[in-house]
Structure 1
Amino acid sequence: MRKCLLVTCLCVLLLGLRNFWLTGFSFDSNQPMHVTILMWHRPFSVPNDLSGDACGDHHSTLFCTIVEQRSLFPTADVVVFHNYELVTGREKLPLDLPRPPGQRWAWLSLESPVHNGDLRRFAGIFNLTINYRRDADITTPYGERLVNEAEGEDPVQDITQNKSFLACWVVSNYRSSYRRSQVYKELSTIVPVKVYGRWTKTLLTAEALLPTISRCYFYLAFENSEAKEYITEKLWKNAYLSGAVPVVLGAPVQDYEALAPPHSFIHVDQFASVKELAEYLLQVAGDKKRYSEYFRWKRKWKVKVSNNWKERLCKLCSHYEHLPPNKVHTDLAAWVHGTGTM
């Protein structure tokens, strides 16, 4: 009798130890949970360093693992699909596989609406959107402004010391039908614009990009699409990190005002004509005090550029516990194109 009781107790103890191990050493629901995110395919075939606990150092509320092994599909909590590969036919959704209960599928794209293809086929499939827009389930912008807590030298001192060109532009995808091309064409007839990139066959290496732009008073941070909150590295990296004042074209003025540091940019739509814009640029470049005012934001703000996929997926980790459990995007295309909500 005692022997049977001892064996029973031992079995219960071993079972408890097993559950203790599988649940992440958790005795109660307040302890960290484990979340597995499966990246179904690599965006643009760019290699990702997703080894180990990719987000564990940043998000202590849970253990978050990002994996690429498709064999882990049955146990993944979230499966992420990058839109470009889906709409171009390079990859397909695993609709033939039994979808585990509670598993979320996430649609990921940082492209502007006109470059996302036909999304009507995805109606009712995805639970989450990962996008640069603030109304996405997981917002992953190209860059963001943060409070600058560092104290140091005045960031606007000697800001014109190294300037030798009025304006410059780096462009590879030049199409005459784009509005940015039309603005550039008219602007360049009034003021000098130094152009780099594949279009003019004057490519800049990654190392030379920012130092080259830093020699310009203004940088034409013109987007290839005009869409809600579509503000890319042209502003966050090329202009801000180089030290040139961005002249922007793309999202509406109010989006730049909401997202970018105050008085840090010049929007094309703030002028009645390109001629007025050109005259303003000449006036500001010729007045060191007025020009330096476009850098005073650095006393309070700094910018952070997001440029790797692991960082974006880690945002999914940090928001996981607060996501609605039963959400389904019934009309993804309407949301992307701004004709509906989700």
Structure 2
Amino acid sequence: MMYCLVALFRSPMHISWEHSMASGPFTGVLRPLLLGILVLGCFVTLFVMYFKPYEGWLPGPVESVSEHVKNLISSDKNPTIVLMWLWPFGSKFDFSVCSSLFEIDNCFITADRNLYNKSHGVIIHHRDISGDLSNLPQLQRPSFQKWIWMNFESPSHSSKLSGIEKLFNLTLNYRQDANIGVPSGTIVPAEGEENFVPPSKNKLVCWMVSNWNPQHVRVKYFNELQKHVKVHAYGRAFGKHISDNDFMPTITSCKFYLSFENSVHKDYITEKLFNPLSVGTVPVVLGPTRQNYEKIIQGDAFIHVDDFSSPKDLADYLLLLDKNEEMYLRYFEWRRHFKVKKVQFPVEHACLTCDYLRKHKEYKEFNDLDKWFWGS
């Protein structure tokens, strides 16, 4: 740029014009006019030389289409292509791990919107959709393509958006009746029998909470519970921040952990249950019914607040278990034959979606999203 301007001001035309017009009557008009034309020409030249046009047709996460990808798509392998339209909460991940991590082959996950017309499925994360739907795909949907509604927040923390109730073909959700149901974790068989011994503990009851709302059921229950048993509470509301490095070790150090969900809905059971289970701490759950929990985990692996008539009765029971080691250890008998598997968000969801699309090529439509998820 600097070279162009220097060349402009030192050009023979500029010097010649400067001498010939210095005393002319129109010098005040022609001088800035000609100079402006020359400057504009210089900028146009630089723009043409260096500007690289954007190939996408809508702002968002985009990858370049390499020759390898073009060859893969055009090869006889015919991979299933899944387009991640919006990064869930901005969580980016390696697209090439479906085979190595989950043994799901012939899948191609991408965020390149230039592949929209070739994509068999388009995953759209609900919490990232604009209220006016302006960041959804604007091109016509290919006949073979399915749009997948992805959401892992509860109805209480998911805005109902006008215009999406009949927009999607499939649901990707924590609900067990979703087309692609992905819970926050599962209990899987262990490799051989294990004589599990829980780690040493120096705290009785712990709770970590980020979303503090006095109107939440869990907050009201906690306020009453702590009157009868000491609870080591962490989070912004208590002025006790826990770093990522200290998060799991803190849970491990507690005999019981309050796995209280932020809202109570069918199948809404989050990592709050699976974190303590995975490190040898007994979760005390507040969420859907005990029967709902027992669809995904053994009934003797957790304590449900509904089993007690009051927070005081629960506190008395926890104090009893603290004094009776034999009773406490019964909550770990399931670990002899099983272990916890936590879901890897969001890469596992994308790979499972691809696997579903590979196995279900028939036409699908979903026309009652509002009724199914929000109940109205």
Q: Does residue 1:304 correspond to 2:341, yes or no?
A: yes
Q: Between the two proteins, what is the percent identity of the paired residues?
A: 37
Between the aligned partners of 1:184 and 1:268, the Cα distance in structure 2 is 11
Count of aligned positions: 306
Q: Which residue of 1 aligns with 2:234?
A: 196
Q: Which residue of 1 aligns with 2:98?
A: 55
Q: Does residue 1:74 correspond to 2:117, yes or no?
A: yes
The Cα of 1:89 is off from its aligned counterpart by: 5.8
For 1:218, what is the secondary structure of its paired residue? strand
Q: Which residue of 2 aligns with 1:220?
A: 258
Between the aligned partners of 2:124 and 2:104, the Cα distance in structure 1 is 25
| CA distances 1:3-53 after superposition (whole Å, capped 9, x unpaired) | xxxxxxxxxxxxxxxxx986644xxxxxx6421000011111122222x4x
The Cα of 1:257 is off from its aligned counterpart by: 0.9
Q: Does residue 1:319 correspond to 2:361, yes or no?
A: no
The Cα of 1:258 is off from its aligned counterpart by: 1.0
Q: Does residue 1:174 correspond to 2:217, yes or no?
A: no
Counterpart amino acid of 2:123? V
8 Å CA contact 1:87–1:116 kept in 2: the answer is no
Q: Which residue of 2 aligns with 1:39?
A: 84
The Cα of 1:201 is off from its aligned counterpart by: 2.1
Between the aligned partners of 2:192 and 2:309, the Cα distance in structure 1 is 39
The Cα of 1:62 is off from its aligned counterpart by: 5.0
8 Å CA contact 2:79–2:107 kept in 1: the answer is yes
Q: Does residue 1:147 correspond to 2:185, yes or no?
A: no
Q: Does residue 1:122 correspond to 2:164, yes or no?
A: yes
Change (3 A) 1:91 1:66: farther
| CA distances 1:121-158 after superposition (whole Å, capped 9, x unpaired) | 21221001000111111111111111112344x103xx
For 1:258, what is the secondary structure of its paired residue? coil
Q: Which residue of 2 aligns with 1:288?
A: 325
Between the aligned partners of 1:332 and 1:71, the Cα distance in structure 2 is 28
Between the aligned partners of 2:291 and 2:104, the Cα distance in structure 1 is 35
Between the aligned partners of 1:286 and 1:147, the Cα distance in structure 2 is 31
8 Å CA contact 1:213–1:219 kept in 2: the answer is yes
Between the aligned partners of 2:170 and 2:288, the Cα distance in structure 1 is 24
For 1:122, what is the secondary structure of its paired residue? coil
Between the aligned partners of 2:221 and 2:156, the Cα distance in structure 1 is 20
8 Å CA contact 2:193–2:337 kept in 1: the answer is no
Q: Which residue of 2 aligns with 1:209?
A: 247
The Cα of 1:337 is off from its aligned counterpart by: 2.4
Q: Does residue 1:106 correspond to 2:144, yes or no?
A: no
Indicate the RMSD between aligned Cα atoms, in angstroms.
Answer: 2.1
5+ residue gaps, structure 2: 1-70
Q: Does residue 1:135 correspond to 2:177, yes or no?
A: yes
8 Å CA contact 2:261–2:269 kept in 1: the answer is yes
Q: Does residue 1:86 correspond to 2:129, yes or no?
A: yes
Between the aligned partners of 2:134 and 2:227, the Cα distance in structure 1 is 45
Counterpart amino acid of 1:128? L
For 1:155, what is the secondary structure of its paired residue? coil
Structure having the higher helix fraction is 2
Q: Which residue of 2 aligns with 1:183?
A: 221
